Amino acid sequence: MAAATSQRVKVIRSAVLVGLIALIAGGVFSLATSASAETHVVEIRGFEFFPAEVNAAVGDTIVWINKDVVPHTATAGDGAWDSGLMETDDEFSLTIEADTSAGDYVCTFHPNMVGAISVE
């Protein structure tokens, strides 16, 4: 009986230990992921996107800032994401996910304005 109880305690201890290790490992992994996520800033000025192309990884965030006097948009070529109308100094953030639509994007008001996102 005492041996059985001792065995159960060992199993519970092992389970708790494994759980703790998993939690710590998960936390570390999570921290590592968030630490490596980057923010890419794209300025809109003079009717152009600067930089015109962004190479981003899953988890990264792209922030567009309109520095022009006139309104612009940043809109996926397939319409999957859209900043909507951005007045002067307005910002729009897009977090890159595995299924985020990449490739060319445009300003819907000024079709000559084209940028591109490539996901690593």
Partner 1 sequence: MFRKIFLSCAAGLLAVLGASSASAEDGGLNDMQIAHIAYTADEIDIQYAKLALECSDNADVRAFAETMIRDHTAVNVAALALLKKLGASPEDNPTSQSLLASAAAKRTELKALKGVAFDRAYAANELSYHQFVNKTVESTFIPAAQNAEFKQFLRTALVTFKTHEGHAEKLVKKLGK
Q: How far is the CB of 44 from partner 1 (least distance, A)?
A: 12
Q: Residues 1, 4, 34, 46: which binds partner 1 (CB under 8 A)? A: 46
Q: Is the peptide bond before 51 cis (omega within 30 degrees of 0)?
A: yes
Q: Cα 7 to the chain's mean position, in Å? A: 47
**Site stretch for partner 1 (CB under 8 A), options 3-11, 65-73, 74-82, 94-102:** 65-73
- The token pair at 77 is 């070529």
- Scanning 14-22, 26-34, 90-98, 107-115 for contacts with partner 1 by CB under 8 A, the matching segment is 107-115
3-state secondary structure the chain: CHHHHHHHHHHHHHHHHHHHHHHHHHHHHHHHHHHHCCEEEEEEECCEEECCEEEECCCCEEEEEECCCCCECCEECCCCCECCCECCCCEEEEECCCCCCCEEEECCCCCCCEEEEEEC
| 99 contacts partner 1 (rule: CB under 8 A) | no
Contact with partner 1 (CB under 8 A) among 71, 82, 100, 116? 71
Of 5 and 46, which CB lies nearer to partner 1 in the complex structure?
46
Binding mask 19-38 for partner 1 (x = CB under 8 A): --------------------
Which residue ranges make up the site for partner 1 (CB under 8 A)? 46-47, 68-71, 88, 109-112
